[in-house]
Amino acid sequence: MKVTEHIANAQGKTLFSIEVLPPQKGKTIDDLLRVIEPLMEFKPPFIDVTYHREELIYKKRSDGLIEEIPLRKRPGTVGICAAIKGRFNVDTVPHLVCGGFTPEETEDALFTLHYLGINNVLLLQGDSDKNPKAANPKNNAHKYASDLVYQVARMNQGKFLHEETENEMKTNFCIGVAAYPEKHYESPNLNTDLKWLKHKVDCGADYIVTQMFFDNKKYFEFVDKCRAAGILIPIIPGLKPIAQRSQLSTLPRIFHIDIPEALANEVEKCKDDKEVKRVGIEWCIQQSKELKAAGAPVLHYYTMSRSEATIEIAKAVF
Ligand code: FAD
């Protein structure tokens, strides 16, 4: 079933969902399935699986020159989605990114998903943190998420890249996209970012998932601004509990978000990361309860493929 159908069927009840990462190469999928298993108690109607582009690593060769090697550390998003779907009978949402693929390769991947009965996708530009070349895709790859949205929306109309199929088949993907209550870091201001978000919606996005935030006011204000800009599709808040003191600086650096002073002060007072985890879980429970009371369609937890904190939060909230 589509994410938007799950939301419609819930008739205003807030749903619980999670995002997991593919295992690192060398680890087994069983570890990931063990993470998901206890979370199934809270009946997530869908589970997102992230996509990871190749990272650039540098090795010194025997002749002294430095070799640049593109390496994918977490491959297998599509296969993992199929495995989770088969094991838990739950809908899965693979993330697909622009760079690294030609539009033809993207089309093939979408056919594979279609054959697997996976009809939800979250379409993204893709991180360029660990691979600066990802920001300047080669091979005619899409540059912005909206280009991907346009391609998938056309496939849903039976329009393919180079030819019409003989039996007039159409795909039936529900299209999710990302948004940033505190603005995307490359955007000059929130209004410009909203203009491009509206463009993604006009290209065919069906729902939005937000970047994590720690101050609900930012989400509520963002939703109001979206509605005023004519963005009327569901906006799912993304949540993550703080777990380490070091995240006071790493989360703002990596994700370009603010940590509210009250939360930062609480974390500073902790004597170790065990106490930080407690603070992070309590903060996330309060955030979740307020978002649920305000009628958020789904609470979507970034688990980082660890379940303990999310279980505790879900027990308190759902
Ligand atoms: P876009 O919507 O393409 O926007 C990128 C920037 O360009 C924005 O500043 C926007 O305002 C601007 N812009 C958009 N369209 C245009 C245009 N036509 N002309 C000019 N400017 C434009 N990354 C991964 O690699 N794998 C994942 O699995 C993954 N999952 C994510 C899930 C969520 C919920 C979120 C919030 C992020 C995720 N990311 C993931 C990170 C994401 O890829 C990065 O944040 C990326 O920098 C932006 O992606 P986007 O899809 O929002 O980009």
Mutational pocket test of ligand 1: of 20, 78, 184, 301, the residue with most ligand atoms within 8 Å of the beta carbon: 184
- The verdict on domain 3-317 having CATH code 3.20.20.220 is yes
Quick check: CB of 100 below 6 Å from ligand 1? no
Residue nearest to atom 51 of ligand 1 (CA): 124
Q: How far does residue 215's CA lie from ligand 1's centre (Å)?
A: 21
Mutational pocket test of ligand 1: of 49, 80, 122, 127, the residue with most ligand atoms within 8 Å of the beta carbon: 127
- Residue 127: per-residue pLDDT: 86
Is residue 92 within 8 Å of residue 81, measured between CB atoms? yes
Q: Residues with catalytic annotation?
A: 19
Residue nearest to atom 14 of ligand 1 (CA): 196
Residue 87 reports pLDDT greater than 80: yes
Angle at 66 between CA 60 and CA 71, to 5 degrees: 85
- Residue 26: per-residue pLDDT: 85
Q: What pLDDT digit, counting tens, does each position of 256-290 carry?
A: 999 999 999 999 999 999 999 999 999 999 999 99
Binned at pLDDT 50, 70 and 90, residue 134 comes out as low
Q: How far does residue 13's CA lie from ligand 1's centre (Å)?
A: 29
- Residue 57: per-residue pLDDT: 82
pTM above 0.75, yes or no: yes
Return contacts of 165-172, CB within 8 angstroms, 24+ apart: 171/110, 171/111, 171/114, 171/119, 172/2, 172/114, 172/119
- For 287, other C-beta atoms within 10 Å of its C-beta total 22
- Residue 54: per-residue pLDDT: 81
Q: What pLDDT digit, counting tens, does each position of 155-195 carry?
A: 999 999 887 655 678 999 999 999 999 999 999 999 999 99
Angle at 153 between CA 151 and CA 156, to 5 degrees: 115
Residue nearest to atom 43 of ligand 1 (CA): 126
Q: Which atom of ligand 1 is nearest to the CA of 200?
A: 2
3-state SS class at 122: strand
Quick check: CB of 145 below 6 Å from ligand 1? yes
- For 144, other C-beta atoms within 10 Å of its C-beta total 16
Quick check: CB of 54 below 6 Å from ligand 1? no
Mutational pocket test of ligand 1: of 144, 198, 225, the residue with most ligand atoms within 8 Å of the beta carbon: 144
Please report, for the chain, the start and end positions of each structural domain, with discontinuous segments joined by +. Answer: 3-317
